[in-house]
Amino acid sequence: MRDARNEPPRDVRGGPSRDRLNEPPRDGPSEPLRDGPSEPPRDVPDVREPVAADDAELRSPAGDGGLMEVVHHRYLLKLLLRRELKARYKGSLLGLGWSYVRPAVNFAVFYFVVGVFMGMDKVIKDFPIYLFSGLVLVTLFTETLQAATRSVLHNAPLVRKVYLPRELFPSASLLVSLVHFVPALAILVVGALGYGWRPTPLGLAGAVVGLLIVILLALGLGLLCAAATVFFHDVEQVVDIVMITVSWTVPMVYPWIHVRDHAPHWVLQVWQLNPLVSAVELFHRAFWAPLSDGRVPEPPALTARTASALGCALMFFFIGEAVFARLQKRFAQEM
């Protein structure tokens, strides 16, 4: 019979006890066994793949590409555009047909009140074309700015829970306004052709520049106001009130010569600094000037003022983008 005193203690599974695993053998001291994986032999090179620098760095959920993030996420922009249009016309009988009704109603109100009742149609030849060529641009600007101002705040659940570039929301508002602008522009072209309009290359080029001024100015101010609205909700109400006055601060329902004849010279100079004034005059040059009888001359130095208006629109665009990019990291905390 074996002597049980000379045998190491065993656990219930028949192996040596865990308490004895790390004990050195009786022959001499040695390093205890380690529970973790052993180090690779020194003569075997480490073949693990290095971690890429881009993968190792943490990226901010807000992104740092500005509006370039919108270009990289074009599919999200399309989804937001469809979502906005479906939400706006959900359950509507006319659907997108309201894009034709809205400018028609605005035109009718301005035409009968200003043109017929106040006699402006006797001062300006082909007053309907003069009025509508300015109305389409003013509507594009006001609709874009109002929608972009509330775009981030009204999409608070997406901002808090889903990663996507925040610039997508004001950009989608601009695209929705452009969807409404296209039918109004088509109506303007058909109406001008009915009055005998013949387009000129210079006039069409000026119309493109005028449209670019409005888009840059509306998007830049929209980004700026959208960021401010997240922190100060009163900004949305202020923008809505200011937009009521826009139609009366541009030569849409009256010619520029009325400002020249009834206001001090310095008021005319300040009034002409408004980029929307130059944009509307460029549309007048494109669609109304070929029909004009010369009673309302073209504003002086329109080319120089166009360059100034374009520079001003670019300035507001870059300022709005910079402010939005700086503040967007705090949007989720403020909502």
Range of lowest pLDDT (19-33, 228-242, 311-325): 19-33
The two structure tokens encoding residue 149: 């101002």
The answer to whether residue 6 is domain-embedded is no
Asked whether 128 and 115 are in contact (CB, 8 A), the reply is: yes
pLDDT at 63 over 60: no
- Give CA–CA dist 247/139, Å, rounded: 9
Residues 6+ positions from 21 with CB-CB distance below 8 Å: 33
- Give CA–CA dist 51/293, Å, rounded: 73
- What's the pLDDT at 78? 87
Model confidence pLDDT, tens digit, residues 290-300: 988 778 888 98
The answer to whether residue 213 is domain-embedded is yes
pLDDT at 272 over 50: yes
Model confidence pLDDT, tens digit, residues 130-185: 999 999 999 999 999 999 999 988 888 888 887 788 888 999 999 999 998 998 89
Number of domains in the chain: 1
Position with higher pLDDT, 3 vs 184: 184
Domain with 117 in it: 68-334
Closest to 239 measured CA to CA, from 128, 151, 165, 146: 146
- Give CA–CA dist 289/281, Å, rounded: 10
Number of H helices, E strands in the chain: 16, 0
The confidence band for 46, taking pLDDT boundaries of 50, 70 and 90, is: very low
Position with higher pLDDT, 105 vs 53: 105
- What's the pLDDT at 54? 46
Asked whether 306 and 148 are in contact (CB, 8 A), the reply is: no
Neighbours of 281 (CB within 10 A): 26
The answer to whether residue 144 is domain-embedded is yes
The answer to whether residue 139 is domain-embedded is yes
The confidence band for 334, taking pLDDT boundaries of 50, 70 and 90, is: confident
Residues 6+ positions from 209 with CB-CB distance below 8 Å: 282, 306, 310
Reading phi first (left if > 0) and then psi (alpha if -120 to 50, else beta), residue 99 is in alpha
- Give CA–CA dist 71/171, Å, rounded: 10
**What is the reported pTM?**
0.78
The answer to whether residue 294 is domain-embedded is yes
- What's the pLDDT at 7? 53
The answer to whether residue 324 is domain-embedded is yes
Closest to 321 measured CA to CA, from 198, 200, 220: 220
Residues 6+ positions from 34 with CB-CB distance below 8 Å: none
The confidence band for 9, taking pLDDT boundaries of 50, 70 and 90, is: low
The answer to whether residue 227 is domain-embedded is yes
Position with higher pLDDT, 4 vs 106: 106
- What's the pLDDT at 92? 73
The answer to whether residue 287 is domain-embedded is yes
Model confidence pLDDT, tens digit, residues 199-215: 999 999 999 999 999 99
Position with higher pLDDT, 149 vs 332: 149
